[in-house]
Amino acid sequence: MASKSEITARRIQELRELIVHHNHRYYDLDQPEITDAQYDAFVDELNRLEEEYPQLAKEESVSAHIGGTPSPVMGIVSFSPPVLSLNNAHNLDELQEFYIRVRQATQESSPDFTCELKIDGLSVVIRYQRGRLVQAATRGDGLHGEDVTANVERIRTIPITLNRPVTMEIRGEVYMPRSAFIALNARREREGQAVFANPRNAAAGSLRQLDPEITASRELSAFFYQIRHVDNQDSDLSQITTQYQTLEFFRELGLPVEKHFRHTEALEDIVRYVEEWEHQRHRLDYDTDGLVIKLNDLTKQAFLGETQKAPRWAVAYKFPPEEVMTEVVDIEISVGRTGVLTPTAILKPVRVAGTTVSRASLHNEDILREKDVRIGDSVFIRKAGEIIPEVVRVEKTLRPDNTTPFMFPVQCPACGSAVIRLPEEAAHRCTGGMACSQQLRESLIHFGSRDAMDIQGLGEKTVDLLLEARFVNRVDDIYRMKEQDLLTLPRFGSLSAVKLVQSIEGSKAQSLNRLIFALGMRFVGQRAALVLAERFHTMESLEQASYEDLVNIPDIGARIAGSVMTFLSQPLNQEVIRNLKDLGVNMTYLESKVPAGDRQKVLTGQSIVLTGTFQTIPRKNLEQWLAELGGKVVSSVSSRTDLVIVGEKPGSKLKKAQGINVPVVLEQEFFERMAKLGLSPPVV
Ligand code: IVH
């Protein structure tokens, strides 16, 4: 039988291997397999065993080297002293133990602290020389990091030049705002690219790039919190004696600092800070995974010093994990307008960060395979970027015996047509086109939507009724419907029937750009549709255009040109267009009737509500700009609201809008949409 010490030695070895493996997944690949809380549990267990059995501890424990291996392609920066990590406190008892330890070590009855939020981003070390940014590096393994100077120079909120010519090396955290993360993933998903698991991975993946242009195109930001080295000659720097002053000094220099830091004088104040931020943090536009409590006096910090891994004068209070466990009841495959098949986990409803979650997108086959989610599994759920529910991982120990790996269907679940996966895409597609009931459903909804043919009354519910009654098999059938037909539909009164028919009739006069958009060619959004309509004026000349004609138009790339050609070459689509024409749908581009000066009134008639604080421009200027674009900014959300624009820390208006299905858009995404129409906010 193995002795206790042998068993412990084996466990220590196992933990070391686990930590090395998960370090690699997290820091090098930006693809964690386990939650932060589970990782911390391994590190804590190893630390405890190494402390208990010092004879089994290696000279250099892996837990002293938390971090990734810097990639040599990026250029390596060496650190001296090493860039340390922090010890963790997981509950108030452990926090109190830290407090008592510091009190004893400093021999002070009531030492004061600075409390800060712990940003869940990517640790960076930046050197400023006489006020100029000269070097930036990731933390790497704490001794060597990657040189990311050119990339960090492209992050807008990190100043290249400080307000004063100081020479110092500082430390901070680069992060991606939640709103930017959500917009980025939405775009990547639309384009069939792999999505990032969370804002931290998105930030890491955006910063650790050989091409600084990529970093520049992603919305990254940073907060700074520590001076590592100073130029002793500098009189400004020599006056700083506390952590609190450090943060204030950073602000004076123009460096971004997380503004919710607080000076505390008693343990109760620290506890209050913890209790407040445990809840409030959900409202921020960046992820935090804890708080950092630091002895305020820098001289006393130096006196306490550090261990191999972490300073003795600070502790990270880790928030309890936000992940909750639930069961996968089913895996549903939905078919989108362009035929993309998206798997969704149907969950036993569970509360996560303030709302009940019963579905979580599994995005595509690669992600589903990697996570190996199966029907019947127990899974951990969290909200990525605080909004979108996602499956973090499967708890394999709880997996029932009879489960089988989920197989992506080879036939479309809606129409039975073959499903294909193109080699360069993450997505599977149904090949059924308009013969697929789901694609048809989504296409009809899109065709009638506000930005397309704007047919009021042709929403999801009506489309479902029309499909059930088999009144429509293709979009042109919409224009064949009569009032009498509609009256036979369940729950359809004569008023709704008259209104819908009127609205359908009215839509025949829409301009060509709307029709092109409504037809739903892949990659052809509103902007591309407008460019095509302006260029060709009639559907007929668009139909006659060659690939070269299309690809030579500024703003129309090969992808759009290819898609238009494919769409227009299919006999079924040609027939639909012919029928639409015969049924009286306008096929020409109607120059905007709005006077030239007002051409940009894209929001005319829209009732818009704002909630939260806005980063791009102050709210007042935003309101003014929306009004210039023809929108009407109103103060409260109702079913008549067309759009709610959400800034940082949104209020109850967001919940209300979500409750009554009013369209909601994040600030960043709204500005991106406007930019696509060539509209940018006023410079203020
Ligand atoms: S202090 C020696 N302050 O958390 C100083 N760290 O889990 C140690 N972090 O590696 C760092 N926000 O990357 C400090 N306000 C903050 C922080 C912070 C985030 C990160 C940092 C560190 C990790 C430790």
- What is the tens place of the pLDDT at every residue in 365-387? 888 998 999 999 999 998 776 66
Whose C-alpha lies nearest to ligand 1, atom 4? 118
Characterize the bridge pairing of strands 122-129 and 132-138. Answer: antiparallel
For residue 400, the SS3 value is coil
- Asked if 308 and 82 touch (Cβ cutoff 8 Å), the reply is no
Which atom of ligand 1 is nearest the CA belonging to 88? 7
Element at 483 (helix H, strand E): helix 483-487
Say yes or no to pLDDT of 684 above 80: no
Q: Among the listed ranges 276-280, 351-355, 366-370, 639-643, which one has the minimum average pLDDT value?
A: 351-355
Pocket test for ligand 1, best of 118, 120, 287 (most atoms within 8 A of CB): 118
In the reported structure, the alpha carbon of residue 543 is separated from the centroid of ligand 1 by a whole-number distance in angstroms of 59
Is 226 touching ligand 1 by the criterion CB < 6 Å?
yes
Residue 314: the pLDDT is 98
Give me the chain's average pLDDT, please.
Answer: 88
The tokens for 85 are 């990590």
118 C-alpha to center of ligand 1: Å?
6
Q: Which is more confidently placed, 345 or 652?
A: 345
Q: Is the CB of 85 under 6 A from ligand 1?
A: yes
Which pLDDT score, from 0 to 100, does residue 595 have? 43
What is the mean predicted confidence (pLDDT) over 40-62? 73
pLDDT of residue 72: 56
Q: Which of 259, 152, 160 is nearest to 208 (CA)?
A: 152
| pLDDT for the residue 602 | 77
The whole-number pLDDT of residue 680 equals: 75
67 — pLDDT class (breaks 50, 70, 90) = low
pLDDT average, residue stretch 578-583 = 96
Cβ of residue 119 lying under 6 Å from some atom of ligand 1: yes
More confident residue, 311 or 361: 311
pLDDT band at 299 (very low <50, low <70, confident <90, very high): very high
For residue 542, the model assigns a pLDDT of: 97
Q: Answer whether 633's CB lies under 8 Å from 660's CB.
A: no
pTM (two decimals): 0.56
> Can you give the pLDDT at residue 64?
46
φ/ψ of residue 304, rounded to 5: -75, -35
Work out the average pLDDT over 88-101. 95
3-state secondary structure at position 389: strand
Residue nearest to atom 6 of ligand 1 (CA): 118
Q: Which residues are bridge partners to 119 per DSSP?
A: 288
Q: For residue 536, what is the enclosing H or E element?
A: helix 526-536
Mutate which of 281, 292, 294 for ligand 1 pocket (most atoms within 8 A of beta carbon) = 292
**pLDDT for the residue numbered 443:** 93
pLDDT over 70, % of the chain: 92
Cα 246 to ligand 1 centroid, rounded to whole Å: 15
CB distance 173 to ligand 1 below 6 Å: yes
156 alpha carbon – ligand 1 mean position (Å): 22
Cα 271 to ligand 1 centroid, rounded to whole Å: 19
DSSP bridge pairs for 389: 383
Residue nearest to ligand 1 atom 13, measured at CA: 123
Catalytic-labelled residue, pool 118, 294, 371, 383: 118
Q: Is 649 a catalytic residue?
A: no
Ligand 1 pocket, 297 CB below 6 A?
Answer: no
- Read off the pLDDT band of 501 (50, 70, 90): very high
Q: How far is the CA of 123 from the centre of ligand 1 (A)?
A: 7
For 98-139, the DSSP string reads: HHHHHHHHHT-SS--EEEEEEE-SEEEEEEEETTEEEEEEE-
Cα of 287 from ligand 1 centre, angstroms:
13
Cβ(246) – ligand 1 distance below 6 Å: no
Look at residue 292 and tell me whether its pLDDT is greater than 60: yes
104 C-alpha to ligand 1 centroid (Å): 24
Which of these, 666, 665, 658, lies nearest to 637 by C-alpha position?
A: 658
Neighbours of 112 (CB within 10 A): 17
Ligand 1 atom having least distance to the Cα of 258? 15
Which percentage of the chain shows pLDDT scores above 90? Answer: 54
Pocket probe mutation, ligand 1, options 122, 123, 319, max atoms within 8 Å of Cβ: 123
pLDDT-derived band at 189, boundaries 50, 70, 90: confident
Sign of the C-alpha dihedral computed for residues 24, 119, 15 and 396 taken in this order: negative
Q: Which of 346, 395, 382, 341 is nearest to 365 (CA)?
A: 341
pLDDT at 68 > cutoff 70? no
> What's at 92, amino acid-wise?
L
Show the tokens assigned to 647.
């800034």
Confidence tier at 593 by pLDDT (50, 70, 90): very low
Q: Which residue has the tokens 């990311």?
A: 148
Say if ligand 1 is within 6 A of residue 118 CB. Answer: yes
**Lowest model confidence (mean pLDDT) among 35-44, 341-350, 444-453, 474-483:** 35-44
CA distance 402 to 400: 6
Q: Ligand 1 within 6 A of 123 CB? A: yes
Class of residue 200 by CB neighbours under 10 A (exposed 0-12, middle 13-18, buried 19+): buried
Q: How far is the CA of 86 from the centre of ligand 1 (A)?
A: 7
**Cα gap 369→405, rounded to integer Å:** 8
Residue 511 has pLDDT above 50, yes or no: yes
For residue 597, what pLDDT is reported? Answer: 45
Q: For a ligand 1 pocket test, name from 173, 243, 250, 255 the mutation site with the most ligand atoms within 8 angstroms of its C-beta.
A: 173
Which pLDDT value is given to residue 65?
45
Is residue 311 within 6 Å of ligand 1 at its C-beta?
Answer: yes
Would you state the structure tokens that stand for residue 199, as one six-digit string?
Answer: 């804002």
Find out whether the beta carbon of 36 lies less than 6 Å from any atom of ligand 1: no
